[in-house]
Structure 1
Amino acid sequence: MGRKFIVERGPKATNDRQSNNDRKTRDVRYTIDEAVEIFIRAKEAEGIRASTIKGYYDTVRYFKDWLNEEKQYTDEISATTIREYINYLRTERLPYQGDTQREGTTKGLSVYTINIRLRNLRTIFRFLFTEGIIMANPTSNIPLVKDDAHEEVQGLTDEEIDAILASYEDKLFAQWRDKTLVLLLMDTGLRINEALSLAGDQVDFKELTILVPSQIAKNRKYREVPISREVAKRLRQLLDETQQYFGDDCQLFMNSYGEDFTADAFRRRLNRLKGKLGIEKLHPHMFRHTFARNYILNGGDIFTLQKILDHADIQTTRKYIQMDKEHLRQQHNKFSPVRRLFNRKGRKL
């Protein structure tokens, strides 16, 4: 009679392909905060930027505020929970809630904002499932929210640009700084955070270029952006003034107290200006769209524009080129093949 021998210890293996991670979750429960910290540490190890990490923290904070301590553990979050949260964001949540200067009365966040939060939640829960921290991913069958077709972000009209620039009082430092920032954004298409992070040594006043380092650029690619001589002159004046008051190591854009001028502070100032001028919408990204549209209208090509705007995909660049009816009429009038036939000397049709 042959002898029996043991190959593996413990109970016989089952056929359900149960992983070690799955077995672990039966014995260990993680609170939402504990699980998120594990996720954040993993992302930090991957070299994710601090701004992205903040976005994850903000998403979880909004989600937990809605949960209101009803659910504290990750295994209590189901697909139904996620869907209920999405419905709350679509129909009940007030935009800019808590911001007394921007809070609106119309309920429901934009589809764009909801999908940002949903993408972050899907990334977090997918990680937790892969790591065996949760038994099931509650977001696995949750699609992004769809929206009816709507216009892309429009740039500003020439009349609105004129009104904005004329509203600034050049004798006041803060307003002259804001005007310089507006001109810079419309001259270069820089993102607002790229512009506000500029130091004096990132501007080449001789070659008329701005260096955007990879640490700041959204796509983590170093690039040089050309600027006009007129804007370069204003930046030189601004740098001289800020260095005179606040020292040589200051940023280009500072507030009146010698602190870094922030994107949120600029948004608040634009919001007040919007009401003063009677402009329907006014936020920093509109200057980037204005630059893109006018660059093409003035004869620039889309491939160069893609490089300037730092877009990885040219389809993104196409979305930035939104022209209103007047611009379409002007371009048609200028380039219509039939009109050129009629304009030929002595041509009759």
Structure 2
Amino acid sequence: MARRFIAKRGDTPSTKDRRTSNVRRAVAEEYTIKEALEIFISAKEAEGIRPRTVLDYRQHAEYFSRFMENDEFLISEITPERIREYVNYLRKERRAYDGDETRVKDVKGLSVNTINTRLRTMKTMCIFWHGEGMLDYNPMVGIKMMRDDELEEVPGLTDEEVDKVLNSYDEKQFAEWRDKTLVLLLLDTGMRINEAVNLQVEQIDFKRLSVYVSSQIAKNRKRRDIPLSREVAKRLKLLIEETRQYFGSDVQYLFMTAYGEDFSADTFRRRLNRLKRRLDIPRLSPHMFRHTFARNYVLNGGDIFTLQQILDHADIKTTRKYVQMDDEHVRSQHNKFSPVRRLLKRSGRARL
């Protein structure tokens, strides 16, 4: 029977095992950001995340790598101090749309919402890496989301801006007629741009006047039917007929490029950006049509609970944020629903 060698007093099996475990942890394998990212993404893909989310994870990791000025840095170098330096860099130095020549990028500093989105991604990654033993501690534990004095929301378009956009399209040109049809669809349904550009012909019910959004493309992974106005349904039907006439009867997607290729959300964003400069509109993006729909839906008498279902919001608070009223709309609603005006009219003293 082998005899146990005792090198030091008090070296019981339990204390020795603990010390050995600590040594193993101290010399644990170091992971580069690329290695750690692949492990993280592989685990998330096993959970069923979507390809778009994977792209976002990769993009956000690339943003941080640029800040670190090294795409092979070790994740153990991610410290609370470095994260705070990164936040300040995003706030004060990073230019919005840097690298995109089609965007204006004179203003330094990203929006609070954009910075918080990147921090949430980093938080998710660090929680995973710490849980897997790839990090000794979670450097995001003490990092808080940024706060702004005023809640930052994407504004809707004014009625004048909507008219300006719609009247700008030359409907004799297929691409512009398609763009106008897409804008009208967004204004009519409040759909997300990725849901709209990925619509297939079979998702339109022309008899029931509704659009079926499958769980595969819905952001919250819940299928839903969205009511469709007769006028927009008519345009969609004509778009399908013309698209199939140009590119063949087997075309399944509603929105195609003038070359018969897939029409992406990014392509539409670039076209809106060019249109924005031509029309001299301060801001113009696909998401603004969604906010415009939400605001007008409520102004026209729609209830916020139905709106929540149409917009596919899990929380009613999110829906409330979408209904942003400018001063003109606030004055208009006050003038229409003022209790005093009704009181004076009822008492026959409206002239007062």
Q: Offset of 1:103 from its aligned partner?
A: 4.1
Which structure 2 residues correspond to residues 1-349 of structure 1 after superposition, within 5 A?
12-14=13-15, 23-24=24-25, 26-69=27-70, 72-247=73-248, 248-344=250-346, 346=348
CA contact (8 A) 1:96 1:104 kept: yes
CA contact (8 A) 2:294 2:307 kept: yes
Q: Structure 2: which 5+ residue stretches go unaligned?
A: 5-10
- CA–CA distance in 2 between the matches of 1:214 and 1:70? 36
Q: Structure 1: which 5+ residue stretches go unaligned?
A: 5-9
**Residue 7 of structure 1 corresponds to which residue in structure 2?**
none
Q: Offset of 1:265 from its aligned partner?
A: 1.1
What SS does the corresponding residue of 1:27 show, helix, strand or coil?
A: coil
- Cα deviations by residue, 1:201-238 (Å, 9 ceiling, x for unpaired): 00001110000000111110000000000000000011
- CA–CA distance in 1 between the matches of 2:184 and 2:22? 55
- CA, structure 1 residues 79+204, in 2 after alignment: closer, same or farther (shift >3 Å)? same
- CA, structure 1 residues 31+253, in 2 after alignment: closer, same or farther (shift >3 Å)? same
Q: Offset of 1:69 from its aligned partner?
A: 2.0
- CA–CA distance in 2 between the matches of 1:335 and 1:36? 55
Q: Offset of 1:12 from its aligned partner?
A: 3.2
TM-score, normalising length: structure 2: 0.91
- Cα deviations by residue, 1:217-262 (Å, 9 ceiling, x for unpaired): 1110000000000000000011111112223233101111111111
- CA, structure 1 residues 129+330, in 2 after alignment: closer, same or farther (shift >3 Å)? same
- CA–CA distance in 1 between the matches of 2:43 and 2:199? 30
Give the counterpart letter for 1:162 in structure 2: D
- CA, structure 1 residues 260+21, in 2 after alignment: closer, same or farther (shift >3 Å)? farther
Give the counterpart letter for 2:303 in structure 1: D
- Cα deviations by residue, 1:94-137 (Å, 9 ceiling, x for unpaired): 11111111141211111111111111011101100111011122
Deviation larger for 233-242 or 27-36 = 27-36
Q: Offset of 1:18 from its aligned partner?
A: 8.5
- CA, structure 1 residues 328+70, in 2 after alignment: closer, same or farther (shift >3 Å)? closer
- CA–CA distance in 1 between the matches of 2:244 and 2:97? 35
Q: Offset of 1:60 from its aligned partner?
A: 0.6
RMSD of aligned residue pairs (Cα, Å): 2.3
Q: Offset of 1:165 from its aligned partner?
A: 0.5
- CA–CA distance in 2 between the matches of 1:287 and 1:293? 10
Give the counterpart letter for 1:306 in structure 2: Q
- CA, structure 1 residues 11+177, in 2 after alignment: closer, same or farther (shift >3 Å)? farther
What SS does the corresponding residue of 1:13 show, helix, strand or coil?
A: helix
Moved over 6 A (4+): 15-22
CA contact (8 A) 1:25 1:133 kept: no
**Residue 8 of structure 2 corresponds to which residue in structure 1?**
none
CA contact (8 A) 1:25 1:134 kept: no
Task: Give the paired residue count.
Answer: 341
Q: Offset of 1:22 from its aligned partner?
A: 8.8
CA contact (8 A) 1:71 1:77 kept: no
CA contact (8 A) 2:215 2:223 kept: yes
Give the counterpart letter for 1:124 in structure 2: M
- CA–CA distance in 2 between the matches of 1:234 and 1:21? 68
Q: Offset of 1:347 from its aligned partner?
A: 5.2
